[in-house]
Amino acid sequence: MPFGLDHPYWVTDPKLDLDFHIREIHLAKPGMVDQLADQVSRIVGRPMDRTRPLWEVYVVDGLHSGRWALLTKYHHATIDGAAGQLMLKILTDPDADAPAPGSGPLWVTEPVPSTVELLRRTAVQLARNPFKAMRIQARLVGKVAHAAGVNSVSGAAGQAGAAVKAVARLGRPDGPRIFPTTQAPPTPWNKSITSHRRFAMRTTSLANVKALKNATGGTVNDIVMAICAGGLRQYLLSHDALPERPLRAMVPVSTRTGDEDDPWTNRVSALVAELPTNCADPLERIARCSEAMQNAKRTLDMVPADELVDLTQLSTPVLTTSAVRLASRLRLADRFAQPFNLVISNVPGPRQPRYIAGARLCHQFPVSIVTDGQGLNITVVSYLDRLDFGFIADRDLVPDVWDLADMHIDEIGRLFEASGAEWVQPPRPPHPRRGRVRRDQPDAIC
């Protein structure tokens, strides 16, 4: 948009070059999984060309097991995790012998708006923003007050004040305070990031996680959070960097209802929950993760996510972009504490096998993003009967990300030992760090 006065509009690219967007990479021998991870790290660390559609696809062959990998890279401004799963469904088939798709309708591009037309749209949008803001504010205050049980307060100011007080303690005068009064404790990765990344991947049995859930009374997500809390605790202990206070994780939450007119959007809110990394007892970590997630979900339920998402559309891009760039240039993440330590995302994936050109999709390892102040991201995707973990980090802040990944898998064993739960699928034999797969164990990554 001219001068960054309004948010960009999506248009079809009249000069789409598929050769630019779809690329092939061949791994050098022996084609180990850590070589694949190194290539992923280099690819996701490169900024995307914003003069072209914001997506790339890489076909990677040369893996020693005879398998190949498909890396899809797209800008988070285009789609979120749920839309990414929809994209996977489009790219894959439900059966190995699915017929090749026929030719679709002729692709027709739309004309790119002129600068004058873009300025006209911007003027209309800016004129509407004040009225839109008032409507959103009224809905936001009313919904928060109603959710908090404050229905008798008259007047917007009084209603807002009473609502905030009620939400701050979950609607109960003696309830636990859920608005944090302090920032997250510092960790090695809560600093300004570089343009270089490290990536690691690990997988575990979903049936084993469900066995832990049944033995401890939590949910699958509680167990995932407890695995992360334990793995991060061991990593920080090994670096003599474990804070006395628990870490805080930002957990994205989809606000999709299924009734969206356009599925290719971002409809994501978030909650912030404590990770009991300062707790030595594995079972207590599960209990505290469960309590923290319940409190965070109650908070999210009381704050209308749709209205908050709509509010973000009222900002002026030129101001927000300038502020973000200035903060990065001044390395403010090195000077100030952060509201949370990392992002942990749990995305539901297909429960039935998917195929590409007859080849079965074995794993779906997620590759997310990191930002200034949060140089580590853990994303988990459920696929078939397992959970696939993707660990992405700044190359300098978390140089031993494979060790961190292995510590998360080790934590599962500690949870089984502490809970007395029965393994549904026996754990695989130990294997060397950094994902180097023995030739007699082609699936040791699992």
List pLDDT tens digits, range 329-379. 888 888 888 999 999 999 889 999 999 989 999 999 999 999 999 999 999
pLDDT single digits (tens) 284-323: 999 999 999 998 888 777 666 566 666 666 666 666 777 7
Query: So what's the pLDDT on residue 101?
Result: 75
d(CA 353, CA 375): 33
Task: Classify burial at 119, counting beta carbons within 10 Å of its beta carbon; exposed 0-12, middle 13-18, buried 19 or more.
Answer: middle
The catalytic position among 26, 75, 76, 363 is 76
Closest CA to 81 of 261, 344, 393, 361: 344
Rg (CA), the chain: 24
d(CA 388, CA 392): 13
pLDDT single digits (tens) 375-425: 999 999 999 999 999 999 999 999 999 999 999 999 999 999 999 999 999
Average pLDDT value for residue range 250-255: 83
- Domain 1-102+183-446: assigned CATH number: 3.30.559.10
Helix (H) or strand (E) holding 329: helix 317-329
Least confident piece of the model among 154-168, 206-220, 244-258: 154-168
Count of all residues that appear for the chain in the document: 446
- Neighbouring residues of 322: CB distance < 8 A, sequence distance ≥ 6: none
Average pLDDT value for residue range 7-11: 76
138-177: b or e for each residue (b if 16 or more CB lie within 10 Å)? eebbbbbbebbebeebeeeeebbebbeebbeebbeeeeee
Task: Classify burial at 70, counting beta carbons within 10 Å of its beta carbon; exposed 0-12, middle 13-18, buried 19 or more.
Answer: middle
27-63: b or e for each residue (b if 16 or more CB lie within 10 Å)? beeebbbbbbbbbbbebbbeeeeeeebbebebebebb
Tokens of 435: 């994902």
Cis before 105? omega within 30 = no
Outline which parts of the chain fall under CATH 3.30.559.10. Answer: 1-102+183-446
408 catalytic, yes or no? no
Average pLDDT value for residue range 73-83: 78
C-alpha count within 13 angstroms, C-beta hemisphere, residue 359:
11
Query: So what's the pLDDT on residue 443?
Result: 41
Q: Are 412 and 427 in contact (CB under 8 A)?
A: yes
Task: Classify burial at 287, counting beta carbons within 10 Å of its beta carbon; exposed 0-12, middle 13-18, buried 19 or more.
Answer: middle
Residue 172 has pLDDT above 60, yes or no: no
pLDDT tier for residue 136 given thresholds of 50, 70 and 90:
low
Least confident piece of the model among 41-55, 73-87, 211-225: 73-87
SS3 339: coil
